[in-house]
Amino acid sequence: MPALPPDQLATFVQQMYGKLDDLSYYELLGVSTGTSQPDIRAAFYRVSGDLHPDRYHALADRELKDRLETIYARICEGYRVLTLPDKRAAYARTLAEGKKRLTSTERESNRPQNPEDSIKHEEAKKFFRLGMLSLGRKDFKGAVLNFNFARSFEPDAAIIKQKLGEAQAAQGATAKPGGAGAK
C-alpha cells in the first residue's frame, strides 16, 4: 500500500488514536484469538508496512507524527505479546479480566531481554557488540580483544566477564593441536 495522503492519514490516525485503548492486540493486528503465530507475523508485517512512521517522515504536523508513532508502538507491543507463548497466555488472562493491554509489570521480565541491556557505559556496549559479532564469526582473537575493551569501560559487568571467558576458552581450544582450528 502506498503511503496515505496527509488528509487521509490524519483522518485514520485521529480515529485510531481515539479508540486505541479500546482495541485488543488481536484487533490492532486484524486477527482472531485463534490465529497461528505465522499468521500473526504476516498480519504484523502487513499492518506495520502500511503504518511504519518512517513512511511518513516528511510530515510537518508533529502531533500527527507522534500519534502515528504511538499507534505503531502499540501494534509492535501486540505483536511481541502475541508471538511469545507465555506472554500470549498471560494476555488471554488479561483479556478475561476485561483489560486490553498487559501492564508494564506483566510485560517486563526480571532479567534483561538482551545481554547488553545490563551494560551501562555506551563504549562498553559498543565493544561488547563488536565482541559478540566476532564471536559469531568465530574470530575468537577479535572477540577477546573487543570484550577486553568493553571490560576496560565497565570492569564489573558480569556479562562481559562471561563472554570474555567464553571467547578465551574458544581461542585456547583452537590454538591447541587437535583443536577446532588445527590443520
For residue range 43-56, list pLDDT tens digits in order: 999 988 888 888 88
**Residue 107: what pLDDT?**
45
Across the chain, what does the average pLDDT equal? 86
Q: Name the CATH code of domain 6-107 (choices 1.10.287.110, 1.10.3720.10, 1.10.3080.10, 3.30.530.20).
A: 1.10.287.110
Is residue 149 within 8 A of residue 160, CB to CB? The reply is no
**Mean of pLDDT values over 73-87:** 92
Instruction: Please provide the size of the chain in residues.
Output: 183
Cell of 31: 486477527
**Mean of pLDDT values over 53-62:** 85
- Please give the share of the chain, as a percent, with pLDDT higher than 90: 62
Domain ranges of the chain: 6-107, 115-175
| Distant-in-sequence, close-in-space partners of 128: CB < 8 Å, separation ≥ 6 | 115, 116, 119, 146, 147, 150, 157, 159, 160, 163
Cell of 114: 538482551
- pTM of the predicted structure, to 2 decimals: 0.56
- Please give the share of the chain, as a percent, with pLDDT higher than 70: 88
**Residue 104: what pLDDT?**
52
CA separation (Å) from 121 to 112, 145, 157, 162? 15, 17, 10, 17
Radius of gyration, CA atoms only, the chain:
22
